[in-house]
Structure 1
Amino acid sequence: MDPSEPTLLAEQFGPLQGVRILSTGTIVAEPFAAVMAAEMGAEVIHIERPGKGEDWRVAEFPIQAPSGDLVASSWLQDHRNMYHTTLDFSTAEGRDIFLKLVERADIWMESSKARTYDKWGLDDATVLAANPSIVICHISGYGQDGDPEYVGRASYDFTAQAFGGMMNLMGNPEPDPPTRAVPWTADYITGLFCMWSSLAAYIHAQRTGEGQVIDLAQFEAVHRILSGTMVAYNELGMVRERAGNKAGNAQPWDTFQASDGWVVIAAVGPAVYARVCRVLDLDPDDEKWVKARREVNSPEGIEFDAVLRGWVEDRTVDEVVRIFNEAQVGCSRIMNAREMAENPHYRAREVHLEWEDQQLGKTVKGVGIVPKLSGTPGKIWRGSVPVGHDNHLVYGDLLGISPDTLHELAERGVI
């Protein structure tokens, strides 16, 4: 934003200080992009519908506030550092207020079906006319254009994983059903794509003064991370299918059950495989075990897997993890929330931090700032707030709308 423009943030911090973002998405994907920016110093104005706000406020693992209201755990985690306002885009006053915010913003990120905002007079041309340098990022399930049969379809994390091809690769082979990646993996992946692409376009706008529109289809974000799946199909005629946790073309690369829990063991390449063999008292140069590494479904490969599983089953998780890591083999306990909270490495790196949450009226603890920047680190300056908490600050102090007008707009449900 213009350096002369007043800022809402009392303290400037992080690499994104001076960047103002309008956030009008719902559920996970777009708000996750917004909170990542807010944690790095951007001034983020998140807009909800008037009244009760978003359904996601109470949707997942809710905690009761002193008021009796429920607040979802994921909302507490992913709605920090943001200014929360309400606005009805379908009204003429709501449209005009939003365009005034657009004039003062650098980036607008939203999530909805294609062309949703067009029906409210907020099409891309209108928004860019109000601010020619603004970056607009549209998140939708199937994109802003394409096959008309798909563009208007509803989409969520679950459907994006299915249509994007991820779910076909998740889980054990047939006849077991495909499984989804959790929690909300397609949404979080899309949020990452939203953030980096918006910042890329913002850098261009800073250099040229030219804004632009980003068309981010959720299924395409999912599809992009399928590695060489489509190259293998187009060049080899190979249709990848579910294979469980096994790598399929080398071992060991799988989950293994110890006497008191589960671990993963991952050995990439012959050198690391040789270390595994030595732990098991096997000769890594024996042709039998050389063959077992690559031909995992051969009799030799099956025997190696059985030897390793038997070795792991006879030991505790701590023993397995210690022995393999001392041998420089990738191995980890499969961690749950309690184990992560109590783990010394998590504590040493301060992965989990406390902050004050305004809705619960107390200190809460969750995941802190990721990643850690040496020169301009992010921070948590505020937790989540109630619906419309910052209406007067944003619409009054920033836009100059009088208290009487704000009261009248609230009475009519515009804000």
Structure 2
Amino acid sequence: MGSLDDLAVLDLTRVLGGPYCTMLLADMGANVLKVEPPGGDWVRRTPPFHHDDESEAYGGYFQSVNRGKLSLELDLTDEDDREDFLSLVDRADVLVENYRAGTMERFDLSYETLHERNPGLVYAAIRGFGDPRTGATSQQQRPAYDLIVQAMAGVMQINGQPDDPPTKFGIGIGDLFTGALSAVGILSALHHRERTGEGQFVDTSMYDAMVSMCERTVYQYSMTGEVPGRNGNSHPILFPYDAFPASDGQVVIAAIGPSQWDNLVEAIGRPELTAFREQSVRLENREWLRETISDWTSERTVEEVLDVLETVVPTAPVRTVADVFADGIADSREMLVELGIPGTDNQVTVAGSPIKMTATPTGPTGPAPLLDQHRGDLLDGDDDSWPETTELLDEAANGRVPTRTDGSGDGDPEE
């Protein structure tokens, strides 16, 4: 059993950051119930689909971050549905939502209301610019997406080539990093509850997370007064820590210590460059040294460069996701996991859990649910205990159909 298999988590999140947070908890065994508005999380209808077959229950995006969860469709504007939701709050250990500040208050489901009903509840909010409870700002009613917080927190300004415009990360780092930090905060609050019996409000802001991730630029600006710029693949205070061209691709070389530099210059047949073994001297001459190393690497294939350097200095090829699928490392680490799509014969490969433990298993426990799949198990039975996720996920794998799909539209309470 997973280390969190005694936890019941109400997941009101949608899109990426919040679902990634609760996915991490589900991968560690938590019983995560995804409470979806009428029509469900709109990401269900987001491609890619298996061979572009949009008749499937959901695409790869939804499967990836909602695997191993249960689903219940509720309209929080409806009095009966709200009562059903409150009955679940009574049984929950954790609630996670990523609406704009004030949204849950409109349904009379604020943290304070739910805390009074269930004092042990850990209520976690993921917002673009945080919640007024932990620090009010003028931005908290603004809608926020990954792109917005990357731009506002200074991430884009330091990402990209020096002569190119500011560039966002290729992945939704503003969502993913915030989701991971929220999971850390939730586990910390649960530890506090074990000692005191009291739940609390956990606030994780996307903007705050991006400022935290840019920790280097914060202290650099504080100490120098200079705004850090874009360095491409190089490092502002280390060399060589960069990408270099090969005849058929690129390699990265990270020979930052004096002994690593000695190994590098000996391997490329330039022992006279030991005169540059001190990092400060290398930085003063980095452009000429980059050209010198590039001249050597560009005359060789990626494989030839690795044959010479891989055993003496940290070196690696710049690869694609196809290479990751092919190399065997991800497979051996259980980082490529196949999940079935309920009601079809199709499968999709998703990224596994990066958290490994020796005593308790981690990783996807089943596919993402069909919309409202677990209504009968959660609301129509006589058992007041939180259901065992694994048993219900076995049914999901067999393609059991939902018992209620009468919602319409996106039903996003924030709107």
What TM-score does the superposition give when structure 1 sets the normalisation length? 0.87
Residue 353 of structure 2 is aligned to residue 353 of structure 1: no
Q: Alignment partner of 1:162: what SS? A: helix
Query: 5 Å matches for 1:44-123?
Result: 44-51=32-39, 53-63=40-50, 68-69=55-56, 71-123=58-110
Compute the displacement of 1:235 (Å).
3.0
Pick one of 196, 201, 207 that aligns with 1:213: 201
Q: 1:294 aligns to what?
A: 280
- Give CA deviations for 1:249-303 in whole Å, capped at 9, x if unaligned: 231111112111122111222221221111122226743x346x535564x4322
Contact 1:28 1:187 in 2 (8 A): yes
Contact 2:94 2:122 in 1 (8 A): yes
Pick one of 282, 286, 294 that aligns with 2:270: 282
Residue 212 of structure 2 is aligned to residue 227 of structure 1: no
Residue 157 of structure 2 is aligned to residue 168 of structure 1: yes
Residue 299 of structure 2 is aligned to residue 314 of structure 1: yes
Q: Quote the Cα distance in structure 1 between the aligned partners of 2:309 and 2:177.
A: 32
Residue 367 of structure 2 is aligned to residue 383 of structure 1: yes
Contact 2:75 2:81 in 1 (8 A): yes
Q: 1:133 aligns to what?
A: 120
Q: Quote the Cα distance in structure 2 between the aligned partners of 1:169 and 1:67.
A: 38
Contact 1:249 1:295 in 2 (8 A): no
Compute the displacement of 1:132 (Å).
0.1
Compute the displacement of 1:64 (Å).
5.7
Compute the displacement of 1:379 (Å).
4.0
Q: Alignment partner of 2:252: what SS? A: strand
Residues 102 and 314 of structure 1: is their aligned pair in 2 closer, same or farther, counting only changes over 3 Å? same
Pick one of 359, 367, 372 that aligns with 2:351: 367
Of residues 101-110 and 310-319 in structure 1, the stretch that sits farther from structure 2 once superposed is 310-319
Structure number with greater CO (CA < 8 Å, separation at least 6) is 2
Q: Quote the Cα distance in structure 1 between the aligned partners of 2:118 and 2:35.
A: 19
Q: Percent identity at matched positions? A: 26
**Which amino acid letter does the alignment assign opposite residue 259 of structure 1?**
S
Q: Quote the Cα distance in structure 2 between the aligned partners of 1:353 and 1:284.
A: 49
Q: 2:144 aligns to what?
A: 155
Runs of 4+ in 1 over 6 A off after TM superposition: 407-410, 412-415
Q: Alignment partner of 1:150: what SS? A: coil
Give me the CA root mean square deviation: 2.5
Compute the displacement of 1:399 (Å).
5.5
Compute the displacement of 1:193 (Å).
0.6
Q: Alignment partner of 1:102: what SS? A: helix
Q: 2:311 aligns to what?
A: 326
Q: Quote the Cα distance in structure 2 between the aligned partners of 1:256 and 1:185.
A: 25
Residues 413 and 242 of structure 1: is their aligned pair in 2 closer, same or farther, counting only changes over 3 Å? closer
Compute the displacement of 1:27 (Å).
0.5
Q: Quote the Cα distance in structure 2 between the aligned partners of 1:210 and 1:190.
A: 24
Residue 166 of structure 2 is aligned to residue 178 of structure 1: yes
Compute the displacement of 1:411 (Å).
5.7
Q: Quote the Cα distance in structure 2 between the aligned partners of 1:228 and 1:99.
A: 44
Q: Quote the Cα distance in structure 2 between the aligned partners of 1:31 and 1:317.
A: 38
Residue 225 of structure 2 is aligned to residue 241 of structure 1: no
- Give CA deviations for 1:36-56 in whole Å, capped at 9, x if unaligned: 1111111000111122x1221
Q: 2:394 aligns to what?
A: none
Give the length in aligned residue pairs: 391
What TM-score does the superposition give when structure 2 sets the normalisation length? 0.87
Contact 1:106 1:134 in 2 (8 A): yes
- Give CA deviations for 1:148-201 in whole Å, capped at 9, x if unaligned: 531100000111111122111111124x11111121111000110110100100
Residues 278 and 122 of structure 1: is their aligned pair in 2 closer, same or farther, counting only changes over 3 Å? same
Residues 297 and 410 of structure 1: is their aligned pair in 2 closer, same or farther, counting only changes over 3 Å? closer
Q: 2:388 aligns to what?
A: none
Compute the displacement of 1:305 (Å).
1.1
Contact 1:357 1:382 in 2 (8 A): no
**Which amino acid letter does the alignment assign opposite residue 171 of structure 1?**
G
Q: Which runs of 5+ in 1 are unaligned?
A: 1-12, 401-406
Q: Which runs of 5+ in 2 are unaligned?
A: 386-401
**Which amino acid letter does the alignment assign opposite residue 280 of structure 2?**
R
**Which amino acid letter does the alignment assign opposite residue 154 of structure 2?**
G
